[in-house]
Amino acid sequence: MRPLCACTHPDGYDAAQLARIAAAHGVPPLLARALVRRGLTDDAAIDAFLHPTPDGLPDPLALPDMAAAVARLRAAIGSGERICVYGDYDADGVCATAILIDCLRAAGADAIYYLPSRHGEGYGLHEAALRDIAGKGVRLVVTVDTGINALEQARACRALGMDLIVTDHHLPGAALPDACAVVAQARPGLPAPEAGLCGAGVAFQLSRALDPEGPYQKRLALAAVATVADVVPLRGSNRAIVALGLRELDRVAGLRALLDCAGQGDRPVSGETAAFLLAPRLNAAGRMGGADRAVELLLAGTEAEAAPLAAWLDGQNAARRAQEQRILDDIAARCPEGAFADRRAIVLCGEDWHLGVIGIVAARLVERYHRPALLFGLHNGLITGSCRSIPGIDLHACLSAFSGRFERFGGHALAAGVTMRPEAFDAFAADFDAYLREHFDAETFEPVAWYEEDVSLSELTVDAVDALQALGPFGEGNPEPVFRLTRAEASGVRQIGREGAHLSLTVEQGGGALRAVGFGFGARAAEFGGARRWTLLCTPQRSDFRGQSRVELRLSAAFPADAAKVFRAFLAKALYNTDVDCDKLCEVFAVTHGFSPFAALSLAPDALRRRYVRLRGLTEGGAAADSLLALDAADDLFACCVFLELGFFAPDAARALVAPVQRPAQRTLEESALYRSAVRAQQKQ
């Protein structure tokens, strides 16, 4: 059975190795251990990681077909041929388009660009668009962030008298398009590159190869924003691009104007800033209207030119948020709480759902329910879906099994787009869920809160936390360090934010105390007011206020350690038939620890039903009894006890296993003495 939280590096460390790294690089032990966890033990690799430089970026000519692409572009520039950069409407495609247009125009090229409409055309190359482009006298089309699967469109391009260069980062099909060059890391029949570049990253490399001596800083800044926005892993070249590019953001007038609209002002820009302030606004252009204005913003030469474009994008982002909330409200009305508990995927369609927003909503559902989400909207007689997945489920591979049912589809492991006929939807929704049920075990759909190591509050000094920033920029594939605090106590608990959605509290341990904030923890205020000892997963951050620097904690998970002890004892009774009186044990615990272990349990039938479905999936075929006893959450342990008492699960004492009972007798929760005790305890509060 999968634990609710687990350590990323449980095997310990070589003390001599840590001491050498700390001494050689002048870093505190906390950072030295973090470097080892990231596989960095060689001095040269550590230096390159901690101090990235432009010289450390990979050779652009190492990309397949790069030399051929550069040769054809130089020939076109030299002969005055008109070039069209054909991009995409998301932040990655917009940045990639701006990078290449800036480079080509700086080289003296006659260059225009074209972005398809998300709503009128959809993703990719379109023959009608290519005919329009040819009518403008274009002789060479260069794609960015698209084109690797455009086999028919490549043939149409040639028939229209235009050459084609493809630059893309998506996964190819069985064959590549017929083009002068296909500049892409992925190749048919080969594994996808680990931590591959985004579309703008490939465009940036093309700009370096085409103009190796020219100014690259603005283009690097755009590649950095796109790399964060497209959620590619921040490892290797990607991390270097973001680390170096974020330093150059001030060179791009459009990005400065956009940050002003977002209220960022002159504050330092981090990967988080790019992800949550810049990327949504750049994406909003293509989601809500036309992405061309986003390209014009990024190409703007002055802030005066950029300001009205940035204000328009900011307004589009506000409209996007309103549409997003409308879809979430619609889903909540259609699907009661607990509706997704026994599904392997969330597959829904709304005829009036905004196609530009369903991808964001799908990502929200994945975050909340930890299962793939595929949301569809109706457009031009077809339904188009935006799909998001979870680690361990390659969405592109899974959807490939249904490719015959689609009009078109594409994407990668964690995100994909699908278009199909409306009449095919119901069968696809059922069959896709069945496919996931057949090919992935139940544990895949259970989230695990990962932490890097156990720490004490005394280790989290301002200097140590400052040193950890050298691990950034943080994002996909390079998350901020999360640490576990055990036997921690909470005091001064209060709800903050709109409708009390968040918590502010003081965390105490071993005589030390730090302020902590739990975003989204507001509903657990009563729970924190009851249990006295906690296991907390948190990220330490520096806070500067009135000239004083201090460390604050951002909570990511919290488990009431004391309550879990009680229900482990209950569970041991059920599993091994030891003589434990549940009511008496609770009374003793309440006296010695100052609270009832029942205080914060979720006793709603829907909540217990979800836990039953989860436990049944995890114990199918038999689960080790010890693995149940190792559960961290009091709610899970409580549910185990109740369902064992009701006969829904059966222990096998001889083999120390627990398995679901097939066709158990129908019982109500009220038939469980433990459940009745919990209800009585909560009614007394």
SS (H, E, C) 455-472: CCHHHCCHHHHHHHHHHC
Nearest CA among 630, 673, 638 for reference residue 566: 638
C-alpha–C-alpha distance, residues 173 and 151, integer Å = 10
Per-residue confidence band for 618, with pLDDT thresholds at 50, 70 and 90: confident
Given a contact cutoff of 8 angstroms between Cβ atoms, the answer to whether 462 and 517 are in contact is: no
Residue 621 has pLDDT above 80, yes or no: no
Nearest CA among 557, 551, 468 for reference residue 519: 557
Higher pLDDT, residue 108 or 171 = 108
**Residue type at 246?**
L
Tens digit of each residue's pLDDT (9 = 90 or more) over 419-466: 999 999 999 999 999 999 999 988 788 888 889 999 999 999 999 999
Mean pLDDT, range 263-275, rounded to an integer: 85
In the chain, the percentage of residues whose pLDDT exceeds 70 is 90
Tens digit of each residue's pLDDT (9 = 90 or more) over 476-489: 889 899 999 988 99
Residue 575 has pLDDT above 70, yes or no: no
Distance between the two ends of the chain, CA-based, in angstroms? 34
pLDDT of residue 640: 81
Q: Helix and strand tally (H, E) in the chain?
A: 26, 21
Given a contact cutoff of 8 angstroms between Cβ atoms, the answer to whether 484 and 536 are in contact is: yes
Instruction: Determine the 3-state secondary structure of 667 from DSSP.
Output: coil
Strands (E), 27-100: 82-86
**Residue type at 118?**
R
Residue 33 has pLDDT above 90, yes or no: yes
Residue 249 has pLDDT above 50, yes or no: yes
Higher pLDDT, residue 573 or 80 = 80
Helix (H) or strand (E) holding 317: helix 303-334
Q: For tokens 């904690």, what's the residue?
A: 553
Q: For tokens 């049912």, what's the residue?
A: 405
Domain positions in the chain? 60-317, 335-444, 562-684
Residue 664 has pLDDT above 60, yes or no: yes
pLDDT of residue 563: 62
C-alpha–C-alpha distance, residues 529 and 172, integer Å = 54
Per-residue confidence band for 582, with pLDDT thresholds at 50, 70 and 90: low
Higher pLDDT, residue 656 or 424 = 424
For the chain, the average pLDDT equals 88
Report in angstroms the alpha-carbon separations of 648 from 3, 640, 642: 21, 9, 9
Given a contact cutoff of 8 angstroms between Cβ atoms, the answer to whether 680 and 669 are in contact is: no
pLDDT of residue 591: 45
Burial class (CB in 10 A: 0-12, 13-18, 19+), 376: buried
Domain 60-317 top-level CATH class: alpha beta
Given a contact cutoff of 8 angstroms between Cβ atoms, the answer to whether 113 and 97 are in contact is: yes
C-alpha–C-alpha distance, residues 228 and 271, integer Å = 7
Residue 157 has pLDDT above 90, yes or no: yes
Residue 592 has pLDDT above 50, yes or no: no
pLDDT of residue 654: 67
pLDDT of residue 598: 64
Q: Which two tokens stand for residue 27?
A: 């870093």
CB count in 10 Å sphere of residue 499: 7
Per-residue confidence band for 44, with pLDDT thresholds at 50, 70 and 90: very high
Residue 652 has pLDDT above 50, yes or no: yes
Report in angstroms the alpha-carbon separations of 426 from 373, 388, 394, 440: 15, 19, 22, 21
Per-residue confidence band for 573, with pLDDT thresholds at 50, 70 and 90: low
pLDDT of residue 138: 98
Residue 85 has pLDDT above 90, yes or no: yes
Residue 590 has pLDDT above 60, yes or no: no
Given a contact cutoff of 8 angstroms between Cβ atoms, the answer to whether 337 and 369 are in contact is: no
Buried b (16+ CB within 10 A) or exposed e, 648-664: bbebeeeeebbbbeeee
Given a contact cutoff of 8 angstroms between Cβ atoms, the answer to whether 510 and 575 are in contact is: no
Tens digit of each residue's pLDDT (9 = 90 or more) over 550-566: 999 999 988 877 666 66
Residue 194 has pLDDT above 80, yes or no: no
C-alpha–C-alpha distance, residues 372 and 376, integer Å = 13
pLDDT of residue 418: 92
User: Could you tell me which CATH number the domain at 335-444 has?
Assistant: 3.10.310.30
Mean pLDDT, range 658-667, rounded to an integer: 87
pLDDT of residue 1: 40
In the chain, the percentage of residues whose pLDDT exceeds 90 is 60
